[in-house]
Copies of this chain bind each other. A is one copy, B any other.
Amino acid sequence: MPRTGRRPGNQDTREAILGAAREAFAERGYDGASIRLIAGAAGVDPALVHHYFGTKDQLFLDAVQAPIDPGKIIPQALAGDRADVGERLVRTVLSVWDSAAGGAAAGMLRSAVGNDLIAKMLRELIMQRIFRRIAKVLDLDPVEAPIRLGLVASQIGGLIMIRYILRVEPMASLPPEAIVTLIGPTIQGYLDGPLPALPKARPGKP
């Protein structure tokens, strides 16, 4: 159970660990950054990292300042009829962005666009916490999954950009269920529809 009482220096230690964690996750990715490595970079004992942050998962979410853990809401969003999974995914995204967490999520996206370190961390969050989880829950073909999820991310990310950041009408003001009806089928197709044969990349492409 972590201490909640404040002692002088606690906050600095926490911040030092978070700073080291951000660099490590951005440089090495989620899998490559161990608690031991992060502790070493912050100049503290690994036990102290566990003491402050619990698991590596939680440290990652705190480091990236994620307002919610997408890994927790995705399984709920995906549960149910496979034929409607696209609509449910869009509905879940909108409910998060329309909730109190939306402002923090927008802040994270703004930071990521302007700051390469945060962009790398957001990329890790998307790939590790979101893509992996969706691929597992939906049992996607491992060869196809990265492309399917990249397509999903491009449509959902653009929806967020247009509706919540740039606020382009009518996408900014349409009620959530209208957006679900419009974009759900696209997501459904990206997840479960046929993938086109891709043109061959030229060998020796730079």
Residues of A within 8 A of B (CB): 109-110, 112-114, 119, 122-123, 126-127, 146-147, 150-151, 153-163, 165-171, 174-175, 177-178, 181-183, 185-186, 189, 195-199, 201-202, 205
> What are 16 inter-chain pairs, A to B, with CB distance below 8 A?
A110-B113, A119-B167, A123-B167, A123-B168, A153-B168, A154-B162, A157-B161, A158-B160, A158-B161, A161-B161, A175-B201, A178-B199, A181-B196, A182-B198, A186-B186, A186-B189
A176 to chain B, nearest CB (A): 9
Given contacts A114-B114, A150-B171, 12 further A-B contacts (CB under 8 A): A110-B114, A113-B165, A119-B166, A122-B166, A126-B166, A151-B171, A153-B168, A154-B161, A156-B158, A175-B202, A181-B197, A182-B195
